[in-house]
Amino acid sequence: AAVKEGDRVPEAVLQHFDSEGELRKVSTAELCGDGKTVVLFAVPGAFTPTCSLKHLPGFIKLADEMKDAGADDVVCVSVNDAFVMRAWEKSGAFGSGRVLLLADGSCLFTRAMDAELDLNEKGLGVRSRRYAMIVEDGVIAHLSMEEGGELNVSNAEHILHLLEADAQ
């Protein structure tokens, strides 16, 4: 069944390299629990044009404003391995730790989110649909799932607007 607003964020373990270069695992419960408000957005793939040129940079640009509006963390998830996610982070002006890039290498979180996107025809395998959500204390408060390759409802501006509206 599709995950929807009001549901708990699915349980999964994601990976990333910390600032010392150590491979770390983080559970979604740890990431999104304990009263935290987390902006989590997913992209089909590191280094792909829309993700690299528009989606991720938008969140990096507005991450501080999102935190001012109540977000504790801004997180990007992709069905790539942690090595690819680290290389993606180092490749552009993505630094400064404003957005945490997490790998869902085995597609387990993406599958639990019912967000799988079959890109086998393009040689990319199974990836994640593009979406963004606001998670409050482990519960999905807002979920904006894109159709096709669009970037309309999951962009940083839209999510910032939702955060600011919630803060009112």
- The residue whose two tokens read 């089909």 is 44
How far apart are the C-alpha atoms of 5 and 140, rounded to whole Å?
5
Of 32, 51, 76, 107, the catalytic one is 51
Please report which helix (H) or strand (E) contains residue 16, including its range.
Answer: strand 13-17
Residue 51 is among the residues annotated as catalytic for this protein: yes
Using DSSP, state whether 43 is helix, strand or coil: strand
- The residue whose two tokens read 């990319």 is 124
State the helix-helix crossing angle for 56-68 and 156-167, rounded to 10 degrees: 10
How far apart are the C-alpha atoms of 23 and 19, rounded to whole Å?
10
How far apart are the C-alpha atoms of 34 and 14, rounded to whole Å?
18
Residue positions annotated with a catalytic role: 51
